Structure 1
Amino acid sequence: MQTTDTLAVESGSATEAGAILSSVGTATYEWAVPSDQLGWSDNVAEVLGIADMASLSTGRGFARFMSPESPAGRYEAVVNSPHVDRGEGVAYCVTYAIAPQPGILQWIEDTGRWFASSDGRPLKAHGTVRIITDRYENERRLREASEIDPLTGQLARHRFCQVLDEALEDAVKVRGSIGFVIAAIDGLAQVNECYGFDVADEVIAAVGRRIRTRLRGGDLLGRLSGNKFGILMRSCQPDEMSVACERILMGVRDDVFLTSAGPIPVTVTMGGVVAPRHASSLAAMMGRAQEALDSIKGRRRGAFEAFQPSPERERARQENLQTTGEIVSALNDRRIALAYQPIVAAGPGREVLGYECLLRVRRPDGTLLPAASIVPLAERLGLIRLVDARVMELALAELTAAPGVRLSVNVSPATVMNRAWIDTLSARLKANPDLAARLTVEITESTAIADLDETRRFVARVKDVAARVAIDDFGAGYTSFRNLRRLGVDSVKVDGSFIADFHRNTDDRHFVATLLELARHMGLSTVAEWVPNEDVALALAELGCDALQGHHTGRASDQRPWLAAPAMASLRQTA
């Protein structure tokens, strides 16, 4: 039997507990599920802002306050729960919205535990509710900020990809079809350069708005990267995708964009894919839409191209993947090697002036990878810097082992722009001045014209350590002799395409003669590549070419020819 003091303590504890709950904005409830009777703590009206307590006496009555747009509430978490009570009850925590008064929406966090009767059905539930409207709104704003691109107001990349992936899953389930398109703004780098990044941002945002107004109902736009938008076209067949994209292209192209810097004409180029017909995953959709975009951009900007399967392209892709693996494996296993092609004097005797180091990549069985595919693929995949570093390491080792030898080494555009590479080379050559005097670094003409200022700095760094620099494949690009003078190189190697047909093509002969004369006037030594026969070799010598290189004057060999004829390995400073 309880004493009066005991009852007083319990009553005091209950009162204190109620005060604590009220102070933190929390009310408690107990719900008898079969009868739908709902009992609340005394502070529920204060917490929820609902004055009519009678309306809260049943679960159905409380449910009438829930917003129609609200997520599922307590009823779904208890009565329709997929869980089974193992004797300890089943915990739940749900968030939903109620409208306690017209025009007022409050978000509630409902945390509780339900218990089953002997037949396993929910018998009762008890828990707490509290208002979390401020927290919910803060979380919503943060969620929206992470899902919406702040510049364009379109979906951010990660959220767009989520929706795109879900749309693909739905299309697979119902055997439907969706379209995915990448739209890239053309010439955005030039807008940045001419007008500044603020104006470029205006263009990006305006293009996004204009594309959005040209979409079909139900289609979705997202920003994928700096100049690229992604477009999801629901229930879309190939012909429909083409028509929709042409409408977007015209909408962007036909009217200039008014910016703070004035009107700017803008076009977009688009590549798309129909899924799941031609892409069964998000990664495949991204890759194939990008592939179509790259394809059309290489031929014509401001146009659209849809991905089409190609057995030849797929075979080439598989071969590229295999070659990539072999290059990485060769780098790891140090199966990168060099072959050496002689560069000979054009005059009588054909004295060997030095050797050009040519890349060789060996497979584990000793066979060679096709040389023509190695460098372009390594450049596309970002492996070329590692390859160039290994080639230079091997060349320096040969220069150290053979004091009389002079070598030329080709470097890629990525390496020319990589200051860490030239820093490493400079440190090696400063410590070994004799090596620098016998080394020539070759850069292609296309590399030189890509960024003249950066190339000029690279050339200066190489010459600072007393090595020489040559322009390879000269004539294939558009370098003027004024730019050539600015670069400060030591020699030019005439592109082999002009030498191969030299004896048959009068235009080639005239071009080569003019180039040799101008180079001589500028004090640059010259080397003719791909020399095919003796007649061409003699003609080049008569025109004043300093050196020759090609199958006629000596094939590449990995046997270190100077070991057999060391006296032939002296390279004149003029070469």
Structure 2
Amino acid sequence: MVLLWQRQQSSQHEVSEVTRQAMHGLLSELVRIDGEAEVRQLADGLANPLYYFDLDAVGALARAALREADVDYVLVYDAQGRILHDGSGDIAAFGQPMNDPLAKQVIAATGPHALTRGQLLDVSRPVMIGDERLGGVRIGYSLAGMARDEASAMEALRGRIDEVGRRSLLWLLLLSAALAVIAVAAAAVVQRLLVQPIQVLGDAARQIEAGNFSSPVPVSKRQDELGDLIRTFGRMRESVARHDRDIRRVAYSDALTGLSNRLAFRESLDQRLRALQGAGRQLALVFADLDDFKRVNDTLGHEAGDEVLLQVATRIDRAVQAIRGADAMVARFGGDEFVVLLQAADNEPEGDVRTMVTRLAETLVRELGEPMMLNGRQVFLGSSVGVALFPDDANTASLLMKNGDIAMYQAKVAGKNCYRFYSRTMDQAVERRVRLEHDLRGAWGRGELSLAYQPIFRTRDRVLVGAEALLRWNHPEDGAIAPSVFIEVAEQSGLIEAIGPEVLRSACAEAAGWPTPRGAGEPPFVSVNVSPRQLRSGDLVQQVTDALVESGMAPERLHVELTETAVISDEANATALLARLRDIGVRVWLDDFGTGYSSLSHLRRVQVDGLKIDRSFITDLLRDPDDLALTSAIIAMAHSMGITVVAEGVERQGQFDLLRERDCDLAQGYWLGHPMSALEFARLLD
């Protein structure tokens, strides 16, 4: 195709050049013929005046010729080549010989003679009476006008070549050549039959280039090439318009849900903000992000994840449609992130957008928290919703989207499945979170992270039997950072996947050298908390095995603690993983029991060695009979299944006494012992 295009361009250039030469020759020939005719007529008129040497008559004829169009000079000379008249009033050159470069050839010529020099055509003819030569006459014609006409014709010709094509070009060249000699009426016919339709096509092409595909294309019944071109152009416009619609649909919509995508949403947001600048009207931006959506993809597969996204898109669209008087746009940015643009409709009075978007946010949290059916099973998800308002929170699109994302993140920090409006204090919280995440990277290698051990006692004889390893962070500038703060940062950023194995190795290495406490009968165990991310990664068994091999500690002395929610949320994977841990001798404990699903039926499928009753039950054990009854029931049922029960958060002797009466196996808490360093714990064992 490139070679064909180059050949076409070469052919067009060749045709243009040949036409230019032909036109130049034709115009030159016409000028020469007209000049020779005028010189012959002037020579005939000068015969008698020269014979009688009547300079007045000679001057009158010369001046008349000089006034003709494109005549540059007129010279009447005698037989020796001396100038007799030049058409001027004073004849300054009278009697002087002609000494220009063409003079010798002119004087020597015995008949009509035409010579070209640059932009000048010199035509001469001797003046004769009979066989006697009285002299001659020369007329110089300027060719500048001919050059202008030639350039103008060639420019029009090249334009027609580009528009009509090679075949039409040959016809236009012939027609253009004929235009130099035919009447004005013929030019009008050409204009009406050929140029005007092409101009209409050109206008239509410019409309298409500008993106206006609704511009009409002329209908032609002509059966020639131009008629075919017009009809083909019409079909091409329809095809381009159809493809443009398809491309725009693909470029501006989400392939899965059919909602607008990020590009379409950003263009609409920019357009609306420009319209609202200075208008005193509000606009709300709503970010909705699904909670724990990754769990669906990891456990049920990506097809189930796509089905969830389709159901979520339907629920969001339904919730938006239920808001009366709202002009809204729903988009999916990718993954599980959905965005809603909300403002009062143009035909509605300006209402309170904050009230409108509050109602929408509440509806989204409620609707997206309802269970979804996937392949006959219920899936529970929540959503974190963030809201930013224009112009209260931001006056640019980028800043508005940033603040909406910050508000959504704060909803996740607040416990998920809720909504939050943006406030300027959130920026400080985000900056602190980003700084903590940055400082947490490499904190273990810098020695800022360490382990503390909280003693665990046997309730029947209050003998120290083990300890729970707790991670502590001593920041070089901020001092001690609360575990509830930096553990959450590590979980959300994924840093826990790098820190977790280090905690396992360090806890096993330090516990390997602990002595056996008096009365315990066996070396103390160490319990280590494992995050849900470590559980999902699939490397937990290998990490535990490596830590045991490096430390040389017996597997039964390591107790792995997992939260009830993390185990039940991915029950199939957790069951297999925990079975492998138990096979190598490691004990598995269920942490924070009672705060999650709280169903002992799960314990039949996910076998564990122990469970830890959450401190929320222990705190009101002495005041609330219900908490005492629930705690007693948990202990009894766990024992019936052969599961060890640990109570955490014991802060009073009365609580310890009640737990011992109810046959709780182990206990830990501030009344029994605060978290301490490995050295202090070793001294306690001694």
Q: Same fold (TM over 0.5)?
A: yes
Letter in 2 for 1:485: R
Q: CA deviation at 1:343?
A: 0.9
For 1:478, what is the secondary structure of its paired residue? coil
- Give the match for residue 467 of structure 1: 586
The partner residue of 1:389 within 501, 504, 507 is 501
The partner residue of 1:66 within 204, 213, 217 is 204
- Give the match for residue 252 of structure 2: 147
The partner residue of 1:377 within 475, 489, 494 is 489
- Give the match for residue 327 of structure 1: 440
Q: CA deviation at 1:213?
A: 10
Letter in 2 for 1:330: A
C-alpha separation between the residues in 1 aligned to 2:592 and 2:360?
Answer: 44
Q: CA deviation at 1:359?
A: 0.9
C-alpha separation between the residues in 1 aligned to 2:497 and 2:480?
Answer: 20
| Alignment pair present for 1:520 and 2:657 | no
> Residues 209 and 49 of structure 1: is their aligned pair in 2 closer, same or farther, counting only changes over 3 Å?
farther
C-alpha separation between the residues in 2 aligned to 1:340 and 1:174?
Answer: 62
- Give the match for residue 417 of structure 1: 536
For 1:323, what is the secondary structure of its paired residue? helix
- Give the match for residue 557 of structure 1: 676
C-alpha separation between the residues in 1 aligned to 2:605 and 2:356?
Answer: 50
Q: CA deviation at 1:375?
A: 2.0
| Alignment pair present for 1:362 and 2:479 | no
Contact residue 390 and residue 400 of structure 2 kept, 8 A = yes
C-alpha separation between the residues in 1 aligned to 2:402 and 2:487?
Answer: 23
> Residues 364 and 238 of structure 1: is their aligned pair in 2 closer, same or farther, counting only changes over 3 Å?
farther
1:334-353 matched pairs, under 5 angstroms: 334-348=447-461, 350-353=462-465
The partner residue of 2:575 within 424, 433, 456 is 456
C-alpha separation between the residues in 1 aligned to 2:524 and 2:491?
Answer: 29
Contact residue 437 and residue 490 of structure 2 kept, 8 A = yes
For 1:330, what is the secondary structure of its paired residue? coil
- Give the match for residue 526 of structure 2: 407
Q: Give deviations 1:419-458, integer Å, cap 9, x for gaps.
A: 1233332344467663422211011223233233232223
Q: Give deviations 1:118-157, integer Å, cap 9, x for gaps.
A: xxxxxxxxxxxxx999889768744542322234444222
The partner residue of 2:11 within 8, 18, 21 is 18
> Residues 42 and 202 of structure 1: is their aligned pair in 2 closer, same or farther, counting only changes over 3 Å?
same
For 2:260, what is the secondary structure of its paired residue? coil
Q: CA deviation at 1:225?
A: 3.7
C-alpha separation between the residues in 1 aligned to 2:384 and 2:676?
Answer: 47
Higher relative contact order (CA 8 A, sep 6+): 1
- Give the match for residue 179 of structure 1: 284
C-alpha separation between the residues in 2 aligned to 1:185 and 1:335?
Answer: 34
- Give the match for residue 543 of structure 1: 662
C-alpha separation between the residues in 1 aligned to 2:361 and 2:630?
Answer: 46
> Residues 397 and 405 of structure 1: is their aligned pair in 2 closer, same or farther, counting only changes over 3 Å?
same
Segment drifting more, 523-532 vs 212-221: 212-221
Q: Give deviations 1:309-361, integer Å, cap 9, x for gaps.
A: 364x555444434433332352453421100111122233x322111101101
C-alpha separation between the residues in 2 aligned to 1:98 and 1:21?
Answer: 36
Letter in 1 for 2:421: F
- Give the match for residue 269 of structure 2: 164
C-alpha separation between the residues in 2 aligned to 1:366 and 1:216?
Answer: 50
With the length of structure 1 as denominator, give the TM-score of the two structures.
0.67
Q: CA RMSD in A?
A: 5.3
Segment drifting more, 204-213 vs 284-293: 204-213
> Residues 406 and 226 of structure 1: is their aligned pair in 2 closer, same or farther, counting only changes over 3 Å?
closer
Report the count of equivalent residues: 488
For 2:388, what is the secondary structure of its paired residue? strand
Letter in 1 for 2:394: A
C-alpha separation between the residues in 1 aligned to 2:604 and 2:242?
Answer: 64
Contact residue 18 and residue 41 of structure 1 kept, 8 A = no
> Residues 508 and 229 of structure 1: is their aligned pair in 2 closer, same or farther, counting only changes over 3 Å?
closer
> Residues 245 and 323 of structure 1: is their aligned pair in 2 closer, same or farther, counting only changes over 3 Å?
closer
For 1:279, what is the secondary structure of its paired residue? coil
1:408-447 matched pairs, under 5 angstroms: 408-429=527-548, 434-447=553-566
1:177-216 matched pairs, under 5 angstroms: 177-182=282-287, 203=311
The partner residue of 2:598 within 479, 482, 495 is 479
C-alpha separation between the residues in 2 aligned to 1:366 and 1:205?
Answer: 43
C-alpha separation between the residues in 2 aligned to 1:47 and 1:246?
Answer: 67
> Residues 202 and 16 of structure 1: is their aligned pair in 2 closer, same or farther, counting only changes over 3 Å?
closer
C-alpha separation between the residues in 2 aligned to 1:14 and 1:207?
Answer: 60
With the length of structure 2 as denominator, give the TM-score of the two structures.
0.57
Q: CA deviation at 1:14?
A: 10
Contact residue 245 and residue 270 of structure 1 kept, 8 A = no
Segment drifting more, 38-47 vs 371-380: 38-47
> Residues 224 and 284 of structure 1: is their aligned pair in 2 closer, same or farther, counting only changes over 3 Å?
same
For structure 2, the 5+ residue unaligned runs are 1-5, 16-150, 173-188, 220-229, 368-372, 377-381, 516-522
> Residues 54 and 270 of structure 1: is their aligned pair in 2 closer, same or farther, counting only changes over 3 Å?
farther
Contact residue 453 and residue 681 of structure 2 kept, 8 A = no
Which structure features the higher share of helix residues?
A: 2
> Residues 53 and 309 of structure 1: is their aligned pair in 2 closer, same or farther, counting only changes over 3 Å?
farther
- Give the match for residue 191 of structure 2: 54
- Give the match for residue 423 of structure 2: 309
> Residues 559 and 139 of structure 1: is their aligned pair in 2 closer, same or farther, counting only changes over 3 Å?
same
1:220-231 matched pairs, under 5 angstroms: 220-225=329-334, 229-231=338-340
The structure having more radius of gyration, on CA atoms, is 2
